[in-house]
A and B are shown apart, each in its own frame.
Chain A
Amino acid sequence: GDSVTQMEGPVTLSEEAFLTINCTYTATGYPSLFWYVQYPGEGLQLLLKATKADDKGSNKGFEATYRKETTSFHLEKGSVQVSDSAVYFCALLDSNYQLIWGAGTKLIIKP
């Protein structure tokens, strides 16, 4: 079946550092791909998405590109802030319209 693998956390960075959170997937066909963010004690917010190969999703300085050849959707941000501290989930929408989730990566940004 379809699956999503993302890098284990926690990832600890200093403010203004460059961020990469790796996400790879296995799927039949070409599913839509998503990054969600969860701040402490809150629900999930959609951060960005991409629906086809070579699409780039972007929001709030975060970017991710749908790479069909490497089956990847890595999340990047050029300069992180303390307020970016959260848990980030990579997910794909399978053919039954269910989200297949990565395990989540906790990001800690130190001032």
Chain B
Amino acid sequence: DGGITQSPKYLFRKEGQNVTLSCEQNLNHDAMYWYRQDPGQGLRLIYYSQIVNDFQKGDIAEGYSVSREKKESFPLTVTSAQKNPTAFYLCASRQGVRSGNTIYFGEGSWLTVV
């Protein structure tokens, strides 16, 4: 099946630990995104990447890091510097301009600090 796969679905982090959320897509999309969603709230952009080996900070990048070494993969690391990381994290990718520019989302990952 084509799509965006996020793992794990649920993750627990201890104080002071870094954790990495995986995002893989087989849609051949160049652009990928990470969003954060707090309970009952909308989405806020963390990082985005328009092409391999390039990425930019979004609105709330502090305490997060990403890499884009492969077109298919855009992992997000939540570092210990992120003081309130408990949230729902959504990965997305975008069709090319000629294909309609639509952004599609994965199923999300729940991160809880324990």
**Chain A positions near chain B (C-beta within 8 angstroms):** 32, 34, 36, 42-46, 49, 51, 89, 93, 97-99, 101-104
Contacts and interface: CB of A to CB of B under 8 A. Distances in A.
A101 B108 contact: no
A61 to B, nearest CB: 20
Given A43-B106, A43-B107, A101 B42 contact: yes
A46 B104 contact: yes
A49 B42 contact: no
Count class of interface residues, chain B: 20 to 34
B42 A98 contact: no
Contacts, number: 45
Q: Is the interface of A mostly helix, strand, loop or mixed?
A: strand
B42 A44 contact: no
Given A32-B101, A101-B43, 10 more contacts: A34-B102, A36-B105, A44-B92, A46-B105, A93-B103, A97-B50, A97-B94, A97-B101, A98-B48, A103-B42
Which 5 pairs of residues, A with B, have the shortest CB-CB distance? A43-B108, A44-B105, A43-B107, A43-B105, A101-B42
